[in-house]
Amino acid sequence: MEHGWCLRANALCARRLPFRCFATVSRLGDGVFWYVLMGVLVALDGLDGLRASLHLAATGFVALLLYKRLKRWTRRPRPSARDLRIRAWVAPLDEFSFPSGHTLHAVAFSVVAVAHYPALAWLLVPFTASVAVSRVVLGLHYPSDVLAATGIGGVLAAASLWLARAIELAPQ
């Protein structure tokens, strides 16, 4: 069933405007958007912004280790490698599909950032959803890769927030 979704979604990029939009969102999700966000938080909110940015960076580091390990373990081929009708509209960062690292990072970063700055939800929620959709549309992931990454990123962010609160409440 999800193979059909991949085919239909992938066909959207045959048009110039959808391709440019999804490719741009995906590229921003490579890290550029998150690095700029961290810099802006520090610039606008000083020490509190630095604290939030360090929290984001630590969460991102753990997310990177986790998703790389999962990709090596599952070794699921990308949709474009399984079906020649599905085109990878942008070059993949690695060989395997499960889970979507872009989505995992976007969810984890968004949950942590919104916990620190709830007013950012209006920006981060649509951006994160766009990153997730872009990975399927661009032929790089199955919907299940994105859904699993959403769950993993959410659990990782929740654990990160719990740990941050536990450390802050610890006697000094």
Q: Are 100 and 149 in contact (CB under 8 A)?
A: yes
pLDDT tens for 5-27 read 777 777 777 888 888 998 999 99
Question: Domain residue spans in the chain?
Answer: 2-169
Fold classification of 2-169 is Vanadium-containing Chloroperoxidase; domain 2 (1.10.606)
* C-alpha to C-alpha distance for 151 and 19, rounded to whole angstroms: 27
* C-alpha to C-alpha distance for 21 and 42, rounded to whole angstroms: 28
Residue 58 has pLDDT above 80, yes or no: yes
3-state secondary structure 25-50: HHHHHHHHHHHHHHHHHHHHHHHHHH
Residues in CB range of 40: below 8 A, 6 or more apart: 49
pTM recorded for the entire structure = 0.90
Share in percent of the chain as helix, strand, coil (round to 5)? 80, 0, 20
Residue with tokens 């990153």: 131
pLDDT tens for 83-127 read 777 777 777 877 888 999 999 999 999 999 999 999 999 999 999
